[in-house]
Amino acid sequence: MDERPGSDRPGSADERAAALSEAALAGDRRALARLLTAVENRTPVAEAALRRLFPLAGRAHLVGVTGAPGAGKSTLVAALIAEARAAGRSVAVVAVDPSSPITGGALLGDRVRMQAYAADDDVFIRSMASRGHAGGLAATSAAAAAVLDAVGFDLVFMETVGTGQSEVEVAATADTTVVLEAPEMGDEVQAIKAGLLEVADLVVVNKGDRPGAQRTAAQLRAMLSGAAAPRHLDAARPGDAVRPGDAARPGDAVRPGDAAQPHPKHPEVLLTTATTGEGIAELLAALDRHRANAGVNGDRATVRLARAATMVWALVGERLRDALATGEHAAATAGVVAAVAAHDLDPYTAADRLLAALTGRGEP
Amino acid sequence: MTERPIKVLIAKPGLDGHDRGAKVLARGLRDEGFEVVYTGLRQTPEMIVTAALQEDVDVVGLSILSGAHLTLLPRVCRLLRERGLDDVLVTAGGIIPDADIPTLADAGVAGVFGPGTTIGEVAAFIRANVRPRD
């Protein structure tokens, strides 16, 4: 075990990636951890490893868990781990906490809630710092999840930083997105604001033992479920509003030309108390149900296309930037940027010139 | 890409319930630019080593005030070695008599920091002694 492939040992990046990948696929958790470090640091080893591992991914259920700081994301994930393990499923977690914009340091505290599984090889928990990436995840979280998927974990939870109203990136990364709300999150108007709640496949009101939890869940059901929201004003009948599990009545969901579709996803609203395990079995069942339905109704294909596009475009952007900012183009690029700084050149013309230089259709 | 931040695990082995020091250190090292994984109170050596392995940390910092350091810290060091984490820097803090430091050093604890140590001293020690990173 004291061979440390992937570190500063001799051998090409590809050789080290091959050694690490093979070991990780064979169940070596140390190799897996080192691979994830390489992914986080975006090293050549990581790239070579992902070339090998990506084709093996796509089997795990990727579940995003997001919500405000302190809503109980980590505690909920810990409870879900217990439930999934009881059913014999292997679980990996990518838990993201914010990096300091000042020092680059981070305090990664999600593990505190998930420490009961030290002796269980089928539970793997990895903390990641966001490293300046906005949107709720780290820039490399999706790649990390792909590695965990490839080595065979059944369930991969991606826990975001504590989010506000608009960090919706996780929805483009996960198969199923769970948005956590704490009781007394606000009035009904909060539930109809655009943003986080719109991307939820499942809404969970955690801390179900607190006062107001039932009421919050009822309000969210009323405002989010497709069945309850009146399509036309005259359709709003009292007594029609809060019926959990009603959201996906056949024939009700997709009506072409229906401009009043209030929430395209009609998320189920569940009540949990993660600290006691109350409602967790139901949540895991709802996750499975969502995955099965998404496979049938085409949502999975849509989500996977969106995820692929996000990954590819991010890399295209990165590579364009690298190509322009380093090597033969570096000096010319710096000159164009300086011209923009001096207001001698507008940023749009600057971007066009840089792209033209790259494609050989002009000089910067 | 700039060199990645040093990743540190701060853990409290054993049964004492005093984690103020560990939290102050975790926060202080965060401010020094480290990525600090905090695992909380009442950790067994097995839990600590599993966390160190999965997180691929460079440093394990153990805070202990219970008096059980001669039992728990060598066990953490031994388990780290057994699981291939022999390049991880192990440091300790808390209430540890000077007379016990040589024993802990033999076991693999590279630095022992008692009351009065500044965050800056700990950070400097880590930077000087951490394994080379990719």
Question: How confident is residue A299, by pLDDT bands cut at 50, 70 and 90?
Answer: confident
In the predicted model, is pLDDT for residue B58 greater than 70? yes
Q: What angle do CA A344, A346, A348 make, to 5 degrees?
A: 150
Of A37-51, A314-328, A343-357, B90-104, which gets the smallest average pLDDT?
Answer: A314-328
Question: Looking at residue A230, what is its pLDDT?
Answer: 42
Name the residue among A4, A29, A105 with its Cβ closest to that of B32: A105
Question: How confident is residue B100, by pLDDT bands cut at 50, 70 and 90?
Answer: very high
In the predicted model, is pLDDT for residue A1 greater than 80? no
User: Cβ of B33 and A104 within 8 Å?
Assistant: yes
Would you list the DSSP string of A205-250? E--TTSTTHHHHHHHHHHHH-TTTS-SSGGG--TTSS--TT-TT-T
Question: How confident is residue A3, by pLDDT bands cut at 50, 70 and 90?
Answer: very low
Name the residue among A41, A103, A119 with its Cβ closest to that of B134: A41
Closest CA to A262 of A221, A203, A205, A307: A221
Residue B54: closest CA among chain A residues belongs to which residue?
A: A33
Chain A contact for B95 (CB, 8 A cutoff):
no
Which of B6, B38, B54 should be substituted to probe chain A, the one whose Cβ sees the most A Cβ atoms within 10 Å? B54
Average pLDDT over chain A, rounded to an integer: 84
Of A127-136, A337-346, B103-112, B118-127, which gets the smallest average pLDDT?
Answer: A127-136
pTM of the model: 0.85
Name the residue among B5, B40, B49 with its Cβ closest to that of A112: B40
Superfamily of domain B7-129: Cobalamin-binding domain (3.40.50.280)
Please give the structure tokens belonging to residue B108.
């693999």
- What region, left, alpha or beta, does residue A268 occupy, with left being phi > 0 and alpha being psi -120 to 50 degrees? beta
Question: Looking at residue A116, what is its pLDDT?
Answer: 85
Using a 10 angstrom Cβ sphere, with 0-12 exposed, 13-18 middle and 19 or more buried, the burial of residue A299 is middle
| Domain locations in chain B as residue ranges | 7-129
Higher-pLDDT residue of A166, A24: A24
Q: Which residues touch A210 (CB under 8 Å, ≥6 apart)?
A: A182, A183, A184
Question: Looking at residue A30, what is its pLDDT?
Answer: 96
The CA-to-CA distance between both ends of chain A, in Å, stands at 52
User: Cβ of A33 and B43 within 8 Å?
Assistant: no
Mean pLDDT of B95-99: 94
Q: Distance between CA atoms of B28 and A106, rounded to whole angstroms? A: 10
Report which residue type is found at B60: V
C-alpha torsion A278→A282→A284→A290, nearest 10? -150
Name the residue among B1, B5, B54 with its Cβ closest to that of A29: B54
User: Cβ of A33 and B46 within 8 Å?
Assistant: no
Question: Looking at residue A246, what is its pLDDT?
Answer: 39
pLDDT digits (tens, 9 = 90+) for A166-199: 778 888 889 999 999 988 766 777 777 778 888 8
pLDDT digits (tens, 9 = 90+) for A56-109: 999 999 999 999 898 899 999 999 999 999 999 999 999 999 999 899 999 999
Residue A38: closest CA among chain B residues belongs to which residue?
A: B134
CA A168 to chain centre: 8
In the predicted model, is pLDDT for residue B33 greater than 70? yes
C-alpha torsion A55→A57→A59→A60, nearest 10? 180
User: Cβ of B39 and A45 within 8 Å?
Assistant: no
Mean pLDDT of B100-107: 96
The kind and range of the H/E element at A141 are helix A141-150
pLDDT digits (tens, 9 = 90+) for A215-267: 889 888 888 865 444 444 433 333 333 344 333 333 343 333 333 344 467 88
In the predicted model, is pLDDT for residue B78 greater than 50? yes
In the predicted model, is pLDDT for residue B61 greater than 90? yes
